[in-house]
Amino acid sequence: MENIKRNDEGYLTDFSQWTKDVALEIAKEEEIEMTDRHWEVLTYLQDKYQKEEALSIRGIKKSGVISIKEFYNLFPGGPLKKSTKIAGIPKPKSCI
C-alpha cells in the first residue's frame, strides 16, 4: 500500500485508489476479518458517499440495511469510523 495516499488517521485521501485489496489491508490493520456481510455494508456506505448523503449511526439504523447491534458486531470499537475507513471514504463529520 505504499502508493496509496492516506491522511494521518489512515483514511484514503483519494477514493479512486480504493480497491478490494486496499480494503482488505485496512481491515487487517483494524483487526477485522471481512465477510460477505462486511462487503454489503461497505457497498451501502460507498453508495451513500457517492450520492453525497451524510453518514451517521442514526442514518444507518434507519437504512434497513443493518441493525445497530450487527453494525457494532461487524466493526467493533467505532463502527462508523472503521467501516468508512475500510470503505475508502472520508471520516463522517458525525465521528469524533
Give the tens place of pLDDT for each residue, 52-85.
998 988 888 888 889 999 999 999 999 999 999 9
Quickly state the pLDDT bin for 92 (edges 50, 70, 90): confident
Domain span at residue 57 reads: 15-87
Active site annotation includes 95? yes
Looking at the 3D structure of the chain, how many domains does it have?
Answer: 1
Whole-angstrom distance, CA of residue 37 vs CA of residue 16? 23
Is 2 inside any structural domain?
no
CA distances from 81 to 2, 3, 72 (A): 22, 22, 11
Chain mean pLDDT for the chain: 93
Is residue 92 in some structural domain? no
pLDDT for 93: 77
Give the model's confidence band at 89: pLDDT under 50 very low, under 70 low, under 90 confident, else very high.
Answer: very high
Percentage, residues of the chain above pLDDT 70: 99
70: in domain: yes
Residue 31 falls inside a structural domain: yes
Query: Directed axis angle between helix 20-29 and helix 79-87, to 10°?
Result: 150
> Which residue of the set 30, 52, 95, 96 is catalytic?
95
Q: Is residue 10 part of a domain?
A: no
